[in-house]
Amino acid sequence: MTQINAAARLVADVTTAAEKLFLWRHNPTTGIWNQMRDVTPETQDQWLKIFKEDDPHADFKISARQPKASSSKHGERLGK
């Protein structure tokens, strides 16, 4: 029974990982994108709005993976 539970957990982890999105903030000093928080497809626009209101001059992106250091567009959502 332990093997079944382990397999079920593994399937759940893979499904969750495929659906995960992150809010990234560009650090202009280092050129690196820093992960700020996990978001969902349902909440990504709300979180992007909150972060942009707090720091309107910063660059933010929503993506499942860390954006490349050379990529930077104000408030862009990747993959859309």
Task: Report if residue 50 sits inside a domain.
Answer: yes
Task: Report if residue 43 sits inside a domain.
Answer: yes
> CA–CA distance from 64 to each of 3, 10, 16, 55, 68 (Å)?
30, 19, 12, 22, 12
Give the whole-number percent of the chain exceeding pLDDT 90: 61
Question: So what's the pLDDT on residue 80?
Answer: 43
* Domains of the chain: total: 1
- Has residue 8 got a pLDDT over 90? no
Look at the pTM and tell me if it is higher than 0.85. no
- Has residue 38 got a pLDDT over 70? yes
Task: Report if residue 14 sits inside a domain.
Answer: no
Question: So what's the pLDDT on residue 72?
Answer: 47
Task: Report if residue 31 sits inside a domain.
Answer: yes
Question: So what's the pLDDT on residue 15?
Answer: 46
